[in-house]
């Protein structure tokens, strides 16, 4: 993820008195709104896991059902692989996080390491087959070392596939290179780009700063399609969020598309797609989730509409021509990027099967669009929002909010809602909220400080949504935190008076101070729990079917925060035809399995560190066995236990 995480104080939580008051055992309570088990639409045929999102559509769904609700409790660790990258506090490297989701192709499992090594494993044993080291400088990163995944391509010609580099693995490296290696050997494909590398930062991105990428490229036929990120809130004329496609065989650029209007390109930048992309393989379209134009929270230079920022954008995957676009936030001042890959689904509407696009957002709202036209399938209303009181800022008078489904997280908080485990930190949280401008969702940033709720983390984030076509259920995990954002006059900034994350915003009259609001006594968030949820939504009707608090925080020894509080989380769920939802994502060291139709916790498996990643599943072997795999690496930003483990589970033999 390209955003900074919440202050680590929360992950040093909670004195013994805190625990004594509330207990710490995991007892799942499910708020159920009924079930939706009628097969209205045939289940998706998704046996392997060939791309980051399970399929190019990004449904994070598998039609495997060897592991199901009746036997999931028999899961055990089949193998564990260590990538060999787990630096300690004394090592001179930037922070490390491990968010990878492996893929299965060419009879191998492919993944990347935080330092951008590309690795091939035996899917049945976890044994390393080959490894490619790009020799990346350990200090040449943005937001620390991270890689979410790689992509696989093979030639359409059978004779070429058997030749060297007829099958390739592609990776976007955080320092701005696109790499192509032979899928059989891990050697660079020297006919791709410059000896196997395309230097993206050598191309014109029309702004200040450098490109980085943690998300895998999208593949359609011979097109390798790449988005990327940059340092937020550094430059007003940040690099434009240009999407580029390259020939998988030669590395030659096929096309590029810029979300920033040409006449504004020298004033603003951004609107980039830093999250993974999805592909409609039948239509040949690529679906982009774009972010905020720069700066995220100060838009006085953005005096004209930038309709492709904070939008779901659809391009022809072979030409880059715009098909349609829908903006989910106008004139973003909150860092409410579209944070996850669009999920291409089928839903039932008025007796008709509709091909659609499902898009989670940081505001907690989930949009559903007709895939062909971009028309919302649930009504979207333009609601009035408060005006900015910052000199020169003209924010949009309205913002789009879907009537269904309901938000998966809280969208407003009052001073009286200030929360504490004890009376003293409740008073402190109320005192932190009281002076802030607070007029609900889309309260603009201000010089005196404004409430930002949901926080800049969301709501939803890069983990995305898992979708089961047979039931119409979409499962989404979300965080629920209150934060503040303050525009501080540059010559008045004082880190003691303005605590929190500092953003320079070069060239602006202000710097930005942003802070998740926490009790200084216990470290707990100032908004009422749960601080994380897992929600199932019937996308045929828009109704929430069930919602449960999700996630826990490891405290010390066997103790964890109460399950009823949930926890901020990163990563995503997957769904299987066995009626299961698998998810890591929580800052405790567990992989969990839930009943898709009820939200009941059915199983939890110990892993070496929190799985701040999305799992995957596949079948392998002469007598195929189903495996569930998760990267359990922990997170420097969360100050969790750390590891470098890839863990595979299967049923006991």
Non-local CB neighbours of 262 within 8 Å, separated by 6+ positions: none
**Please, are residues 336 and 362 in contact by the beta-carbon 8 Å criterion?**
yes
SS3 call for 146: coil
Q: Strand pairing partners for 625?
A: 620
Alpha-carbon Rg for the chain in angstroms: 23
Locus of tokens 């709720």: 453
The beta-strand segments (E) located in 183-227 are 197-199, 218-220, 223-226
DSSP letters, 347-380, are EEETTEEEEEEEEE-TTS-EEEEETTT--BSS-E
Contacts of 141 (CB under 8 A, 6+ apart): 94, 174, 175, 212
Whether residue 280 lies in the annotated active site = no
Alpha carbon distance 189, 166 (integer Å): 9
The b/e string for 263-277 (b: 16+ C-beta within 10 A; e otherwise) is ebbebbbbbbbbbbb
Pairwise CA distance, residues 72 & 51, whole Å: 25
Phi then psi for 610, rounded to 5 degrees? -55, 140
Answer yes or no: are the C-beta atoms of 616 and 609 closer than 8 Å.
Answer: no
Task: Look at the alpha carbons of 597, 603, 607, 610 in this order and tell me if their dihedral is positive or negative.
Answer: positive
Q: Answer yes or no: are the C-beta atoms of 312 and 369 closer than 8 Å.
A: yes
Reading the block at residue 547, the tokens are: 């919602």
Contacting residues for 193 by C-beta, under 8 A, at least 6 apart: 178, 180, 199, 246, 250, 251
Closest to 168 measured CA to CA, from 145, 157, 184, 156: 184
Q: Quick check: 359 and 338 in contact, CB under 8 A?
A: yes
- Residue 255 has phi, psi (to 5 degrees) of -165, 165
Please state, in angstroms and rounded to a whole number, the distance separating the CA atoms of residues 376 and 358: 10
**Identified catalytic residue from 237, 296, 335, 588:** 335
The span from the CA of 293 to the CA of 501, in Å, is 20
Residues belonging to the active site? 335
């Amino acid at each position: 993820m390209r955003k900074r995480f919440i202050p680590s104080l929360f992950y040093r939580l909670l004195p013994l008195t805190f625990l004594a008051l509330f207990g710490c055992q995991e007892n799942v309570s499910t708020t159920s709104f009924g079930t939706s088990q009628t097969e209205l639409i045939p289940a998706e045929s998704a046996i392997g896991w060939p791309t980051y999102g399970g399929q190019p559509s990004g449904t994070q769904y598998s039609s495997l059902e060897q592991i199901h609700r009746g036997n999931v409790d028999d899961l055990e660790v089949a193998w564990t692989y260590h990538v060999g990258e787990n630096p300690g506090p004394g090592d001179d490297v930037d922070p490390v996080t491990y968010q990878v989701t492996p893929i299965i192709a060419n009879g191998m499992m492919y993944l990347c390491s935080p330092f951008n090594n590309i690795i091939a494993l035996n899917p049945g044993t976890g044994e390393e087959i080959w490894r490619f080291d790009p020799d990346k400088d350990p200090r040449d990163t943005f937001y620390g070392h991270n890689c979410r995944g790689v992509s696989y391509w093979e030639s359409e010609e059978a004779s070429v596939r058997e030749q060297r580099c007829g099958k390739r693995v592609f990776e976007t490296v955080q320092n701005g290179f696109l790499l192509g290696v032979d899928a059989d050997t891990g050697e660079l494909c020297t006919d791709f780009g410059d000896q196997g590398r395309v230097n993206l930062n050598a191309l014109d991105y029309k702004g200040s700063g450098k490109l980085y990428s943690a998300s895998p490229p999208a593949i359609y036929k011979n097109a390798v399609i790449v988005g990327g990120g940059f340092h937020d809130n550094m430059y007003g004329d940040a690099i434009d969020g240009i999407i580029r496609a390259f020939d998988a065989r030669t590395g030659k650029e096929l096309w590029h598309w810029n979300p920033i209007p040409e006449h504004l390109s020298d004033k603003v930048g951004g609107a980039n797609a830093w999250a993974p992309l999805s592909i409609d393989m039948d239509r040949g379209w690529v679906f982009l989730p774009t972010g905020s134009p720069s700066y995220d929270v100060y838009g006085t230079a953005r005096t004209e509409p930038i309709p492709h920022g904070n939008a779901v954008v659809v391009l022809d995957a072979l030409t880059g021509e715009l098909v349609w676009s829908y903006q989910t936030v106008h004139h973003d001042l909150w860092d409410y990027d579209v944070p996850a890959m669009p999920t291409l689904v089928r839903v039932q509407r008025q007796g008709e099967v509709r091909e659609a696009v499902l898009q989670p957002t940081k505001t907690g709202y989930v949009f559903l669009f007709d895939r062909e036209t971009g028309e919302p399938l649930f009504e979207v209303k333009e609601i009035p929002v408060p005006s900015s009181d910052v000199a020169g800022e003209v924010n949009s008078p309205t913002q789009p909010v879907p009537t269904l489904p309901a938000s998966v997280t809280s969208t407003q908080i009052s001073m009286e809602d200030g929360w504490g485990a004890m009376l003293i930190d409740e008073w402190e949280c109320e005192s932190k909220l009281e002076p802030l401008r607070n007029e609900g969702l889309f309260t603009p940033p201000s010089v005196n400080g404004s409430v930002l709720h949901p926080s800049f983390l969301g709501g939803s984030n890069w983990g995305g949504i898992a979708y089961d076509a047979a039931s119409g259920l979409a499962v989404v995990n979300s965080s629920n935190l209150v934060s503040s954002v303050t525009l501080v006059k540059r010559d008045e900034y004082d880190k003691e008076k303005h605590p929190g994350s500092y953003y320079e915003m070069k060239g602006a009259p202000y710097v930005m101070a942003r802070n998740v609001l926490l009790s200084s006594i216990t470290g707990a968030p100032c908004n009422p729990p749960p601080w994380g949820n897992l929600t199932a939504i019937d996308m045929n009707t828009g109704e929430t079917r069930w919602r449960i608090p999700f996630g826990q925080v490891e405290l010390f020894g066997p103790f964890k925060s109460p399950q009823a509080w949930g926890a901020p989380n990163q990563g995503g769920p997957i769904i299987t035809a066995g009626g299961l939802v698998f998810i890591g994502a929580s800052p405790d060291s567990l992989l969990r399995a839930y009943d898709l139709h009820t939200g009941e916790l059915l199983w939890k498996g110990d892993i070496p560190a929190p799985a701040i990643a999305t799992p995957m599943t596949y079948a392998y072997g002469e007598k195929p066995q189903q495996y569930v795999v998760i990267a359990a690496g922990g997170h420097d930003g969360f100050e969790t236990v750390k590891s470098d483990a890839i863990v595979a589970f299967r049923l006991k033999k």
